Amino acid sequence: MRYPKRGKIEKLILEKLEELGALHMTLIDPDVTPPERAGEIAEEAERAGTFAIMIGGSVGVSEGMVDETIAEVKKRASVPVILFPGSTNGLSRYADAVWFLSVLNSTNPYFIVGGQMQAAPVVKRYGIEPLPLAYIIMGDGGAVGYVSQARPISFDRADIAAAYALAAQYMGFRFVYLEGGSGGRPVPPEVISAVRKTVDMIIVVGGGIKTGELAYRAVEAGADIVVTGTAVEEAEDVYSRVKEGVDAIREAARKRRGLSGP
C-alpha cells in the first residue's frame, strides 16, 4: 500500500527546526514588488539568514507574475522558494513547494476546499511539493481576510484559535499559520502560547511583525516559523532588517531550549 511521504522541503524544514529551534521566512508579494527588486530582496535576505522565500499575495497576482518573480529570485538566491497563493493564479511550476492551505475560518467553502480542489491537479502536474497548512485569520484580517471572506478571530479569543488549530491537527494538517493581517497588529504572544499548549503542529506566525522584538516575542511564545513581508519589502536596508529578525528568532529559540551563546 502507498502512503503519502514527506517531501524534500518539509524534511529540510524539520531538520533546520531541529538544528536551530525556529526559522525566519521572507514573504514577497509580486503585486507590490517588481521581479528585479524581488531578486535583490531574496539575495540580501538569504545573506541575513532567512530560511526561505515565500511568494504570494491576496490580490492582483497572475501566474506569469509569479513565474517572473521566481526566475529573478532563483538567479540571486539559493534558498527554497515556497508559494503562498491567494488563488490558483498564484501557482508556478518553478517553485520548490507550495503552502497548500485551507482558510479554516472562511465563511465560504470555496476558500476551505473548493479552490484547493481546483489547484490540486495543477500542483501534481507541475510537481510542486505540497505543504499541508491550516490557515487561521485573526485580528482585523487585513486584505486576505476580506478576499477569503473569513470571519477573523478576535485576539482576545485565544481559546477559539487553539480550538481551530486542534481541529486542523486532528484533520491531518502538519502546519498551522496564525495570520495577523499584512501591516496590522501582530498575533499576540498569549494567542501563540495558547495554540502551542494545545497542538503538536509546526506553528507559523505572520502579519505585522515589523521588528526583531516582535519576532522574539512570537518565538518565545511558541512560534516555530516567523514570516515577515511588508516590513522587508519597504526596508531601505533589507539585510539589516532581516538580520535583526533572524538574530532575534535564534536568540528566542535558544532561550526556549534553555541554551546560551551563539
pLDDT in tens, 195-246: 999 999 999 999 999 999 999 999 999 999 999 988 888 888 999 999 999 9
Confidence (pLDDT) at 260: 54
Structure-model confidence comparison of residues 234 and 110, the more confident one: 110
| Average pLDDT score over residue span 4-25 | 95
> How many CB atoms are closer than 10 A to CB 239?
16
- For a pLDDT cut of 90, what percent of the chain falls above it? 85
- For a pLDDT cut of 70, what percent of the chain falls above it? 98
| Average pLDDT score over residue span 96-116 | 98
Of 192, 209, 220, which Cα lies nearest the Cα of 244? 209
Judge whether 178 and 101 are in contact, CB under 8 Å. Answer: no
pLDDT tens column, 189-203:
999 999 999 999 999
| Average pLDDT score over residue span 8-37 | 96
Where residue 259 falls among pLDDT bands split at 50, 70, 90? low
Confidence (pLDDT) at 230: 83
pTM: 0.95
Where residue 1 falls among pLDDT bands split at 50, 70, 90? low
- The domains of the chain are located at 8-141+150-256
| Average pLDDT score over residue span 35-57 | 96
CATH entry, 8-141+150-256, from 3.30.110.70, 3.20.20.390, 3.40.50.720, 3.40.1190.20 = 3.20.20.390
